[in-house]
Amino acid sequence: MKTVSIDGENLTLEQAEEVAFAKAAVRIHPKAIAKINKCRKYVEKIVDTEKIVYGINTGFGNLCRERISKKDIEKLQENLVLSHALSVGPVFCEEEVRAMMLLRANVLAKGCSGVRLQLIQTLVDMINKGVHPMIPEKGSVGASGDLAPLAFIALVTMGKGWAFYEGKLMEGRRALKNARIRSLKLGAKEGLALINGTCVMTGLGVLSLLKAERLAELADMAGAASLEAALCTPDAFDKNIQKVRKYKGQREVARNLINLTRQSQIREFHKACPKVQDPYSFRCMPQVHGAVRDALSYVRSVLDVEINSATDNPLIFPDEDKVISGGNFHGEPVALALDFLGIACSELASISERRIAALINPEISDLPAFLAKDPGLNSGFMMGQTVAASLVSENKSLSHPASVDSIPTSNNQEDHVSMGTIAARKAREIINNAEEVLAIEFLAAAQGIDFRAPLKPGIGTGRIHRQIRKAIPRVTKDRLMVGDLVKMKGLMRRRFSASSKP
């Protein structure tokens, strides 16, 4: 089994996904241990000298002026976690929780939070042994980070709250006991360090981005297949057009589409087609799909920074003899990026739905109405386009940016917040909807290519068509198509064995 080492500096998005889905093991990198221990000793020194420092021996938020005695510091941390574990709604899935725990452990391993090594090791043990805290999704405003949902992770480290273990939901105490992990009594600063940060929105964002990147590749494949089925021309993908508008994503998509349709008999047979131009949803794939790719590149750049950033407060710098209260917990960079992620993937679905609509329309595609063998007796792909239209319309509502909203909390101490976790949840939903739309397009495009026989599609599109037909038979009469859609998504998630390269 692969092992991912965390040190707060070098975690990658792909490693986070490996831990989340492939259950890669996690360990604390030896070079991080000295930093962690040094920072913890500095906190313990503050406690012993009874110097007043926010988050160590004071109340929190608007109660920061309340001094806490040394004898009550452990109780302060426990009360903080208990009071803040108040998110609601459906719970995050196991993979999402694993990503969140990994990111929190990595942030703490950076050595700026002042927690004990034992605390980080407990998080690592929970990941490795499959103890997954139950975390309701709703309740974070995205500054001071994801307080409410992260508190549910902190609860389980204390032997409280609830967790899933071996597929069963149980009390946190029992889950730790069954996994042979000792519960902790949180010390100075540790409760605050566990809940103060952006790891929920960022964990969701990482998993969503990686899925979106794969969907962007699949969108080129689906679009190329639709292009063949609709007798459209690849002329608009000529490299000369891309040279005079030098967006990286546009160039990549145009190159993919050319490669996928290379040596197409369908295209050669219809070179004399009287159509002068194709609809934008075909002709402008490089411009639209390419813009999505460029947006995803920006989102990746933000998440690359965030997963290795200290988002706790206050932050501790032993070498400078400083404890500084700042705002690294504010989720605005992530919130803006995840709103952008949702908007971009909404467009990916939107243009896909337009291609589906073109395929089922004989006036555009010159194919049988609704791609049915006997239109009228059979409805064919009529509802496929209707479902895609519904999902695209839903995405329009979900694409309204969460980050433009703010509402004060904690008696106006936290007077501007990011709503980043709402942005993350919305982006996840948009991406899931986009996956469904692309699956419908693949099925419709394959059906359209069937009607072009005996002419063969290009090298790449032909390979895609064969793999679809190997798993899903042609629709010759109306049937229940829900199973087809499920199988198609399975193929997509395995990313076929097709490549955009010939």
Q: What is the pLDDT of residues 226-271, one digit of tens each?
A: 999 999 999 999 999 999 999 999 999 999 999 999 999 998 877 7
Terminal Cα-to-Cα distance of the chain (whole angstroms): 33
Shared domain for 186 and 334, answered yes or no, is no
CB atoms within 10 A of CB 82: 16
Mean pLDDT is highest, among 140-144, 257-261, 494-498, for 257-261
Shared domain for 185 and 241, answered yes or no, is no
Alpha carbons 364 and 329: distance in angstroms, whole number: 52
Shared domain for 259 and 389, answered yes or no, is yes
pLDDT band at 184 (very low <50, low <70, confident <90, very high): very high
Q: What is the dihedral of CA 244, 246, 249, 255, to 10 degrees?
A: 50
Last residue of a domain, one of 197, 213, 229: 197
399 within domain boundaries:
yes
The predicted structure's pLDDT at residue 246: 94
Please count the CA atoms within 13 angstroms of the CA of 225 that sit on its side-chain side. 32
Shared domain for 66 and 213, answered yes or no, is no
Alpha carbons 379 and 141: distance in angstroms, whole number: 46
Shared domain for 32 and 53, answered yes or no, is yes
Contact between 145 and 195 (Cβ < 8 Å): yes
Alpha carbons 339 and 408: distance in angstroms, whole number: 20
Helix (H, G, I), strand (E, B) or coil at 342: helix
Shared domain for 174 and 275, answered yes or no, is no
Mean pLDDT over 373-387 rounds to 96
Shared domain for 298 and 410, answered yes or no, is yes
CATH number of the domain enclosing 411: 1.20.200.10
Helix axes 420-451, 199-229, angle to 10 degrees: 20
Note the helical H segments in 368-458: 382-398, 420-451
CB atoms within 10 A of CB 244: 6
99 within domain boundaries:
yes
Shared domain for 168 and 223, answered yes or no, is no
Last residue of a domain, one of 147, 174, 197: 197
317 within domain boundaries:
yes
Indicate the length of the chain as a whole number: 502
For residue 241, the enclosing domain spans 204-493
Nearest to 250 by CA among 302, 295, 299, 303: 295
CATH number of the domain enclosing 177: 1.10.275.10
375: amino acid identity, one letter = P
Shared domain for 191 and 297, answered yes or no, is no
Total domains in the chain come to 2
115: amino acid identity, one letter = V
State the DSSP code for 433: H
501 within domain boundaries:
no
Shared domain for 262 and 298, answered yes or no, is yes
Helix axes 94-108, 147-157, angle to 10 degrees: 80
Shared domain for 177 and 238, answered yes or no, is no
Q: Which residues are catalytic?
A: 54
Please count the CA atoms within 13 angstroms of the CA of 323 that sit on its side-chain side. 20
139 within domain boundaries:
yes
Alpha carbons 422 and 445: distance in angstroms, whole number: 35
At 464-474, the pLDDT tens digits run 999 999 999 99
373 within domain boundaries:
yes
Last residue of a domain, one of 197, 232, 267: 197
HEC-encoded secondary structure of 256-279: HHHHHCCCCHHHHHCCCCCCCCCC
498 within domain boundaries:
no
Helix axes 94-108, 199-229, angle to 10 degrees: 130
At 72-119, the pLDDT tens digits run 888 989 999 999 999 999 999 999 999 999 999 999 999 999 999 999
At residue 55, does pLDDT exceed 90? no
Average pLDDT score, the chain: 94
pLDDT band at 145 (very low <50, low <70, confident <90, very high): confident
Mean pLDDT over 456-461 rounds to 96
Contact between 74 and 187 (Cβ < 8 Å): yes
**Residue 305 token pair:** 């920074």
271 within domain boundaries:
yes
Residue whose structure tokens are 């813009």: 291
**Residue 147 token pair:** 């307080």
pLDDT band at 61 (very low <50, low <70, confident <90, very high): low
Alpha carbons 320 and 330: distance in angstroms, whole number: 24
Shared domain for 110 and 217, answered yes or no, is no
Mean pLDDT over 387-406 rounds to 97
List for the chain the helix, strand, coil content (%; round to 5).
60, 10, 35
